[in-house]
């Protein structure tokens, strides 16, 4: 996807070196339609430069900082030297992610989708999430719920979520905790079964969360949660333990939660 407007001063942009002159370098901006910037020789690299071609070459992909934008003069001044290695790496990754998202848009709505339709959906994602990639990532993790704040219709949302879940690799984190469940009544076995079912969520665990409860050794059970982030994982772990403890106590048993394992491995 290419933006139709102009970059802002201070923004980092990805470009391709198009032309090299003694006084500087012309760079085609890959993220903006028909936009070209100039990097003066003094902004190509630090220190004295004898030959610009010792530092850049035609066709090279570069990350530059926008120094100034003059729309009336159709001029964009850039600096390559003001971008450090960390910024360059992050910006290139961001740009690559947007290229992936652009391809996913075509998968979701067809390669023959017209520009207006593409722009309508893309602008909704940009307004809500800041980037196409972030929109697809949220759709992959949270499904239709993530896209509810947008003005997209149900068909749009269905297409985005389906495509996101087929193509987006979502980072996950794992957390583990343990519950001790005991019940000395005649209903003890059934009580523990009910407590374990409660721990597993009775089918109400969010789609983006994997929750597994396994037996460790009497009276200890392991709860393992995989979620998109630590906040969600910790919350689901705590809720799982609370459900199990509440269920066992309701039938006259006792329960407790702890983070470290107590029972010896068999």
Whether 105 and 121 have beta carbons less than 8 Å apart is answered as yes
pLDDT tier at 266 (50, 70, 90 boundaries)? Answer: very low
User: How far apart, in whole angstroms, are the C-alpha atoms of residue 180 and residue 262?
Assistant: 10
User: Taking CA 203 as the corner, what is the angle to CA 199 and CA 207, rounded to the nearest 5 degrees?
Assistant: 105
pLDDT tier at 263 (50, 70, 90 boundaries)? Answer: low
- The DSSP bridge partners found for residue 102 are none
Across the chain, mean pLDDT equals 91
Q: What is the mean pLDDT of residues 6-28?
A: 96
User: How far apart, in whole angstroms, are the C-alpha atoms of residue 109 and residue 129?
Assistant: 19
Report pLDDT digits (tens) over 220-258: 999 999 998 888 889 999 999 999 999 999 888 899 999
* Residue 264, pLDDT above cutoff 60: no
Q: What is the mean pLDDT of residues 60-64?
A: 97
Q: Which two tokens stand for residue 38?
A: 């100039």
Orientation angle between helical segments 115-129 and 132-142, nearest 10 degrees: 70
User: Taking CA 55 as the corner, what is the angle to CA 87 and CA 88, rounded to the nearest 5 degrees?
Assistant: 10
Tell me the domains of the chain and their CATH numbers. Answer: 12-83 (2.40.50.140), 86-167 (1.10.150), 173-258 (3.30.70.1130)
Q: What is the mean pLDDT of residues 72-90?
A: 95
- The DSSP bridge partners found for residue 65 are 12, 79
Report pLDDT digits (tens) over 85-95: 999 999 999 99
The model carries a pTM of: 0.66
Nearest to 244 by CA among 178, 146, 187, 184: 178
Orientation angle between helical segments 154-167 and 115-129, nearest 10 degrees: 70
Q: What is the DSSP string of 115-141?
A: HHHHHHHHHHHHHHHSSHHHHHHHHHH
* Residue 217, pLDDT above cutoff 50: yes
Q: Which two tokens stand for residue 145?
A: 């719920």
pLDDT tier at 179 (50, 70, 90 boundaries)? Answer: very high
Given this model, what pLDDT does residue 16 score?
97
Across 32-46, 100-114, 174-188, least confident range: 174-188
Report pLDDT digits (tens) over 136-157: 999 988 889 899 999 999 999 9
Given this model, what pLDDT does residue 265 score?
46
Given this model, what pLDDT does residue 167 score?
92
* Residue 203, pLDDT above cutoff 80: no
């Amino acid at each position: 996807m290419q933006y139709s407007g102009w970059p802002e001063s201070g923004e980092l942009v990805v470009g391709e070196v198009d032309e090299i002159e003694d006084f500087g370098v012309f760079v085609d901006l890959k993220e903006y339609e028909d936009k070209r910037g100039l990097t003066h020789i003094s902004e190509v690299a630090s220190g004295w430069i004898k030959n610009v071609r010792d530092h850049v070459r035609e066709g090279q992909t570069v990350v530059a900082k926008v120094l100034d934008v003059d729309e009336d003069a159709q001029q964009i001044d850039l600096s390559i030297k003001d971008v450090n290695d960390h910024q360059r790496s992050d910006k290139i990754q961001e740009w690559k992610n947007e290229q992936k998202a652009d391809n996913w848009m075509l998968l979701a709505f067809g390669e023959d989708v017209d520009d207006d339709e593409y722009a309508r959906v893309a602008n909704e994602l940009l307004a809500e999430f800041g980037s196409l990639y972030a929109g697809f990532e949220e759709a992959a993790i949270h499904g239709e719920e993530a896209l509810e704040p947008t003005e997209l219709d149900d068909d749009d949302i269905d297409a985005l979520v389906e495509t996101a879940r087929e193509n987006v690799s979502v980072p996950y984190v794992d957390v583990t905790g343990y519950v001790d469940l005991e019940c000395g009544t005649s209903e003890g076995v059934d009580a523990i079964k009910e407590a374990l079912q409660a721990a597993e969520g009775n089918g109400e665990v969010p789609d983006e969360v994997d929750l597994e409860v396994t037996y460790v050794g009497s009276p200890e059970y392991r709860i393992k949660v995989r979620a998109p982030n630590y906040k969600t994982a910790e919350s689901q772990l705590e809720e799982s333990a609370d459900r199990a403890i509440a269920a066992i106590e309701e039938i006259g048993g006792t329960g407790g939660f702890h983070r470290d394992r107590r029972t010896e491995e068999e």
